[in-house]
């Protein structure tokens, strides 16, 4: 059985073994912090994305979605502040050449203090770090690291370079001939694709404030310390929504979106105590107020989503740099203004990791007669990659034909999986391992009375139901 400390490793192995997540280009030994989603991982990820999309757009009449390009005019990133400010302070150990994010190095040291029963000292350290980060005091951070004799985990020495700022954007060249080429960036967030389209959407959609624009898509960050599986990747996917509001109403909308997003998380069937809000002490260059929704991963409480009150920073910056008016005429108060924005920004890959961590269970099923266990992914049915497995008990006597008919009847409506190989118990276990909530078995009695056995993944209970009810039962569970 996996303990909490090795549960994380168990999830990584399980994800690979059962076709959820593979290291990228693995035949060439992989690429650091880049992952590929396999046959079931991509279904799970798509289901989460669709669920988010539906809850944002279909369920909110005043939110519409867009799909902006990854490449954007380079001035976008000047205006947004990413060229000048999207940095992480980092430090190198001169002996091992290992590079650390300064906040990670200090946090790891504080964790050790806390484990040694020195909680007050650990808290004081974090507070000191946050105030130095807030003041962009790189020299202060370095002396703090030296004063506490924080060591590199590889060399074991305290021989550090100065603390430097490291920009996280990837750049590349646009244009085929080097003389004509322009340096452009791979977007580090999807949000700017929304801001530059604010006027297009507002005018063509005749949108009235308050309204939102949602988008999902890839983002790229050259993370200094990229580890912890799909928690911190260099290429990842975000699901973001920018909500445009009248200035002065940001306090209430910020609280509204905090509550609304927490409701969404709880609708995944995850218990409230697995979440907490974390208010930012150090605000990003654009933020007026900001918090994270943190989830208790097997590696501890970590951010899955950020909620930010951005004021009119982004639209005003784009107005300044593009010289195009980013204003809205509010007929209710007869005024023109640059709208304020509340942003909700959630990482899709981190949500996949959250759902996997919550779903992963190792169960001991041993009886007095025999030892037994299973690994089961208890996904909410609406997110499960496969909803229904159709399993003829044997390969003969006309059972596969009946099973095929059930498949044909159900597969236009939800993802089904057909399998006739191996003993039924083994097939159930394989379906448990990919989180399939329902299995139906076609047996000889089916030929007599048109009933099948339905088996429920979590309870492993079985009951007989008429074939004609299968579709309705599953549809009622997945919406
Ligand atoms: P962190 O502090 O963990 O680096 P962040 O505060 O920089 O994250 P945001 O810029 O607020 O993150 O991005 C919004 C969301 O995008 C995050 O809550 C997270 O879920 C996701 N995200 C950010 N960076 C990564 C990454 N490198 N890999 C996977 N997901 C990420």
Q: How many C-alpha atoms does 8 have within 13 Å on its Cβ side? A: 12
φ, ψ (nearest 5 deg) of residue 48 = -70, -45
Among positive and negative, which fits the CA dihedral 111, 113, 114, 119?
Answer: negative
**Domain endpoint, select from 335, 356, 377:** 356
Cα 477 from Cα 457, distance rounded (Å): 13
Question: By alpha-carbon position, which residue is closest to atom 16 of ligand 1?
Answer: 347
CA gap 13, 46 in Å, rounded: 21
pLDDT-above-70 percentage for the chain:
96
- Is the same domain home to 162 and 271? no
Domain-located, residue 217: yes
Task: State which ligand 1 atom lies nearest to the alpha carbon of 231.
Answer: 29
207 and 347 both lie in a single domain: yes
Q: How far is the CA of 265 from the centre of ligand 1 (A)?
A: 17
- Both 308 and 334 in a single domain? yes
Atom of ligand 1 nearest to the CA of 232: 28
Q: Kindly state the tokens that stand for 67.
A: 């799909």
**Res 282: pLDDT:** 67
Do residue 112 and residue 256 come from a single domain? Answer: no
**129 part of a folded domain:** yes
Last residue of a domain, one of 114, 139, 167: 167
Looking at ligand 1, which residue's alpha carbon is closest to its atom 29? 232
Residue 314 lies in a domain: yes
The preferred substitution site among 35, 216, 303 for testing ligand 1, maximizing ligand atoms within 8 Å of CB, is 303
Domain boundary (356, 375, 395) is at 356
pLDDT averaged over the chain?
93
Same domain, 294 and 439: no
Give 178-235 pLDDT, tens digit per residue: 666 688 999 999 999 999 999 999 999 999 999 999 999 999 999 877 678 999 999 9
Ligand 1 atom at minimum distance from 292 CA = 18
Report pLDDT for 135.
84
Give the pLDDT confidence score for residue 1 in this predicted structure: 46
Report the nearest-CA residue for atom 18 of ligand 1: 305
Show the tokens assigned to 312.
């009119």
Nearest protein Cα to ligand 1, atom 20: 347
**CA 166–ligand 1 middle distance (angstroms):** 16
162 lies in which domain range?
87-167
Pick the range with the lowest mean pLDDT from 207-211, 225-229, 238-242, 251-255: 225-229
Nearest CA to ligand 1 atom 24: 232
- Going by pLDDT thresholds of 50, 70 and 90, the confidence category of residue 3 is low
Q: Which residues pair with 245 in a beta bridge?
A: 340
Q: Please give the pLDDT value at position 65.
A: 98
- Cα-based distances in Å from 430 to 301, 417, 419: 31, 11, 10
Domain shared by 140 and 154, yes or no: yes
With a Cβ cut-off of 6 Å, ligand 1 is lined by 189, 221, 223, 232-233, 236, 238, 303-306, 345-347, 349-350
Residue 457 has pLDDT above 60, yes or no: yes
Place of tokens 């920004």: 345
How many domains does the chain fold into?
Answer: 3
pLDDT at 178: 62
Q: What is the CATH number of the domain that holds 415?
A: 3.40.50.800
Which CATH number goes with the domain that contains 107?
3.30.40.230
Confidence category of residue 49, pLDDT binned at 50, 70, 90:
very high
Residues 163 and 188 in one domain: no
The answer to whether residue 380 sits within a structural domain is: no
What pLDDT is recorded for position 333?
95
- Extended beta strands in 196-334, E state: 211-220, 235-245, 275-279, 289-297, 300-311, 328-330
Q: Which residues contact 222 (CB under 8 A, 6 or more apart)?
A: 166, 167, 168, 169, 170, 234
Examine residue 208 and state whether it is found in any structural domain, yes or no.
Answer: yes
Residue percentage of the chain with pLDDT more than 90: 84
Cα distance between residue 249 and residue 254, in whole Å: 9
pLDDT of 226 reads 66
Q: What is the pLDDT of residues 292-330, one digit of tens each?
A: 999 999 999 999 999 999 999 999 999 999 999 999 999
Residue nearest (by alpha carbon) to ligand 1 atom 9 = 306
Hey, which of 350, 352, 357 would you mutate to test ligand 1's pocket, going by the most ligand atoms within 8 Å of its Cβ? Answer: 350
CA of 292 to the centre of ligand 1 (A): 10
Verify that 246 and 305 share a domain, yes or no.
yes
Residue 238 burial (10 A CB sphere; 0-12, 13-18, 19+): buried
Give pLDDT, residue 331. Answer: 94
69: which 2 tokens? 């390009």
Same domain, 94 and 242: no
Q: 214 in a domain, yes or no?
A: yes
Q: Ligand 1, atom 23: nearest CA belongs to which residue?
A: 347
Q: Confirm whether 378 is domain-assigned.
A: no
Q: Are 215 and 192 in contact (CB under 8 A)?
A: no
Let me know whether 244 and 343 are in one domain: yes
- Which pLDDT score is estimated for 179? 62
Distance 343 CA to ligand 1 centre (A): 13
What CA–CA distance (Å, rounded) separates 344 from 256?
11
| 305 in the same domain as 195 | yes
Q: pLDDT band for position 133 (50/70/90)?
A: confident
- Helix H or strand E segment including 406: helix 399-410
Q: Answer yes or no: is 22 within a domain.
A: yes
The answer to whether residues 215 and 162 belong to one domain is no
pLDDT above 90 for 479: no
9: CATH: 3.30.930.10
Give the pLDDT confidence score for residue 4 in this predicted structure.
66
Q: How far apart are CA 181 and CA 172, in angstroms?
A: 9
Residue 348: per-residue pLDDT: 98
Residue nearest to atom 21 of ligand 1 (CA): 347
Rounded Cα distance, 68 and 56, in Å: 17
């Amino acid at each position: 059985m996996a303990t909490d400390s090795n549960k994380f490793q168990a999830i990584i192995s399980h994800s690979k073994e059962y076709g959820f997540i593979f290291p990228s280009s693995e035949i060439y030994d992989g690429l650091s912090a880049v992952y590929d989603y396999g046959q079931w991982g991509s279904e799970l990820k798509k289901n989460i994305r669709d669920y988010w999309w539906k809850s944002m757009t279909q369920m909110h009449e005043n939110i519409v979605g867009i799909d902006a390009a990854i490449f954007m005019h380079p001035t976008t990133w000047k205006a947004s502040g990413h060229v000048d400010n999207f940095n992480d302070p980092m430090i190198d150990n001169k002996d091992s050449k290992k590079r650390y994010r300064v906040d990670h190095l200090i946090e790891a040291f504080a964790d050790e203090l806390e484990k040694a029963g020195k909680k007050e000292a650990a808290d004081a350290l974090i507070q000191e770090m946050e105030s130095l980060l807030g003041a962009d005091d790189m020299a202060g951070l370095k002396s703090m690291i030296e004063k506490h004799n924080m060591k590199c985990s590889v060399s074991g020495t305290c021989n550090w370079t100065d603390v430097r700022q490291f920009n996280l954007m990837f750049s590349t060249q646009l244009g085929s001939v080097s003389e004509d080429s322009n340096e452009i960036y791979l977007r580090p967030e999807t949000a700017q694709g929304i801001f530059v389209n604010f006027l297009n959407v507002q005018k063509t959609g005749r949108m009235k404030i308050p309204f939102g624009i949602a988008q999902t898509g890839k983002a790229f960050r050259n993370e200094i310390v990229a580890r912890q599986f799909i928690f911190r990747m260099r290429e990842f996917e975000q699901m973001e929504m920018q909500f445009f509001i009248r200035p002065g109403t940001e306090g209430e909308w910020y609280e509204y979106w905090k509550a609304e997003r927490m409701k969404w998380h709880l609708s995944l069937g995850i218990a409230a105590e697995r979440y907490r809000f974390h208010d930012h002490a150090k605000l990003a260059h654009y933020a007026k107020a900001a918090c994270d929704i943190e989830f208790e991963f097997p590696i501890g409480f970590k951010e899955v989503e950020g909620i930010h009150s951005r004021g009119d920073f982004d639209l005003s910056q784009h107005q300044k740099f593009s010289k195009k008016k980013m204003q809205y005429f509010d007929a209710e108060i007869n005024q023109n203004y640059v709208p304020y924005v509340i942003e909700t920004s959630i990482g899709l890959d981190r949500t996949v990791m959250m759902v996997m961590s919550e779903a992963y269970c190792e169960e001991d099923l041993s009886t007095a007669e025999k030892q037994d266990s299973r690994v089961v992914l208890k996904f909410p049915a609406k997110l499960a990659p496969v909803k229904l497995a159709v399993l003829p008990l044997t390969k003969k006597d006309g059972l596969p034909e009946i099973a095929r008919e059930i498949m044909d009847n159900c597969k236009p409506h939800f993802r089904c999986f057909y399998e006739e190989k191996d003993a039924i118990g083994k097939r159930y276990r394989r379906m448990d391992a990919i989180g399939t909530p329902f299995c139906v078995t076609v047996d000889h009695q089916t030929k007599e009375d048109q009933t099948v056995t339905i088996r429920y993944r979590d309870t492993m209970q079985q009951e007989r139901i008429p074939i004609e009810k299968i579709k309705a039962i599953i549809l009622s569970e997945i919406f």
